[in-house]
Amino acid sequence: MPYDDCPPPTRHARPLSVAAALAAVCLTAAGCGGGPETGEAGAASPRPGPDATTSAAPTPTGKQPLPKGPLTGRTVVIDPGHNPGNRDHTREINRQVDIGTGRKECDTTGTAANDGYAEARFTLDVSHRLRALLEAEGARVRLTHDADRPFGPCIDERARIGNEAKADAVVSVHADGSAVGNRGFHVILPAEVKGGGADTSKIVKSSADLGARIAGHFARTTGSAPSNYIGGNTGLDTRDDLGGLNLSTVPKVFVECGNMRDPKDAALLTAASWRQKAAQGLADGIAGYLKG
């Protein structure tokens, strides 16, 4: 995930092999079977147009008891990257916030496909689908936002929401904005960092486990390959410059589901049927991690 205002990310650990990431799927025999940036800070994206397909409508949750299931008693926080309103609040989202090891913009607009389908709308759609799948297994699910606020939340608040919920897992949903020809998904893992309010020493290992399981299930369920431009074909990348990871005290990863600026990837990301597969892959990876 290239960033216009950041140097290339520092690698802090040898990435897992593709086989190792995919092996996380096989816990039991029954379980086997650059353009505009998209991260915490960078260039603005085109204004979003209508969705290429009908998005899954947000479903109010918490009004009825959750069903009993394998994830009963577990808490998952889903962090839909960006906010559709960010484009109208550039002054507010450009405000610098403390990420422990430095300062960074509160949030960014995210990227968009060439037809105007915005990353912020993609992330909300996948997050709604993911919430429904996890709640069906009994998990308590909280979104960091649901387009219910004018902009943001800021990256430090996004981390704080997961921390205060004492989440068993946090997943930040994104899509990349790289060059044409750059394809595939990757999962961003927190590096071991300590400085200011950041100390990831207690979550590096658990986050790596969460990320590897998501990578394996995501590839299997969506049919997408690991990124051909980040992570050495492992689908995993370790970063020390993302406030949403640096400030987390609970297991957390970012998932870049594909590259919105590549026409072939964009055709997947703008299809409702593929977004459902993406949500299922994420849900299966999270469930595999939580079930141990």
Residues annotated catalytic, as ranges = 256
234 vs 97, 186, 259, CA distance in Å?
Answer: 32, 8, 16
Question: Going by C-beta distance under 8 Å and a sequence separation of 6 or more, which residues neighbour residue 288?
Answer: 24, 25, 27, 31, 213, 217
* Other CB atoms within 10 Å distance of the CB of residue 190: 28
Burial degree of 283 (CB within 10 A; 0-12, 13-18, 19+): buried
Question: Going by C-beta distance under 8 Å and a sequence separation of 6 or more, which residues neighbour residue 231?
Answer: 15, 186, 237
Cis ω for the linkage preceding 36 (within 30 of 0):
no
* Other CB atoms within 10 Å distance of the CB of residue 127: 26
* Other CB atoms within 10 Å distance of the CB of residue 29: 6
Burial degree of 30 (CB within 10 A; 0-12, 13-18, 19+): exposed
Burial track 225-253 (b if 16+ CB lie within 10 A, e otherwise): ebbebbbbbbbbbbbbbbbbbbbbbbbbb
24 vs 16, 28, 124, 154, 182, CA distance in Å?
Answer: 11, 10, 27, 32, 25
